[in-house]
């Protein structure tokens, strides 16, 4: 059971806009920034969004992040077949002397 809650799956067709949610609490998302990772099959995760809505260099602007209260969302517009991957949210949790928490991951399927 992950501290951050994500839907296990999401899907969309090419060109569509898809959103993935990440729900937490006041001790994590509610008081700290959220990061998003993309993990393609058989590879290490890749930082997709940091500090709620910032994209690292090289990440297409089709990917965007937002945060409101104790929830965050990742939006992917203009969905492409290569976006099919697992997506994880992560945040710092202030409880228990502080620790990093991840969401359980969302498998995105491009139909």
Partner 1 sequence: QLQLQESGPGLVKPSETLSLTCTVSGGSISSSSYYWGWIRQPPGKGLEWIGSIYYSGSTYYNPSLKSRVTISVDTSKNQFSLKLSSVTAADTAVYYCARHVTVTRPNFDYWGQGTLVTVSS
Which C-beta is closer to partner 1: that of 28 or that of 73?
28
Which C-beta is closer to partner 1: that of 35 or that of 73?
35
Give the shortest CB-49-to-partner 1 separation in angstroms: 9
Give the shortest CB-81-to-partner 1 separation in angstroms: 23
Compute the radius of gyration of the chain from its Cα atoms. Answer: 13
Q: Is 91 exposed, middle or buried (0-12, 13-18, 19+ CB in 10 A)?
A: buried
Which C-beta is closer to partner 1: that of 47 or that of 75?
47
Give the shortest CB-33-to-partner 1 separation in angstroms: 6
Q: What is the binding site for partner 1 (CB under 8 A)? A: 2, 32-33, 35, 37, 43-47, 50-51, 56, 88, 90-92, 96-105
Q: Are 53 and 61 in contact (CB under 8 A)?
A: no
Which C-beta is closer to partner 1: that of 59 or that of 110?
59
Across 11-20, b (16+ Cβ under 10 Å) vs e yields ebeeeeebeb
Q: Are 88 and 36 in contact (CB under 8 A)?
A: yes
């Amino acid at each position: 059971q992950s501290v951050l809650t994500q839907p296990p799956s999401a899907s969309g067709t090419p060109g569509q806009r898809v959103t993935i949610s990440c729900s937490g609490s006041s001790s994590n998302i509610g008081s700290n920034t959220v990061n998003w990772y993309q993990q393609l099959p058989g590879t290490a995760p890749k930082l997709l969004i940091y500090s709620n809505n910032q994209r690292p260099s090289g990440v297409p602007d089709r990917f965007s992040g937002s945060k409101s209260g104790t929830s965050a969302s990742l939006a992917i517009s203009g969905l492409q077949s290569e976006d099919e991957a697992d997506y994880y949210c992560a945040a710092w949790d202030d409880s228990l002397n502080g620790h990093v928490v991840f969401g359980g991951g969302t498998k995105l399927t491009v139909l």
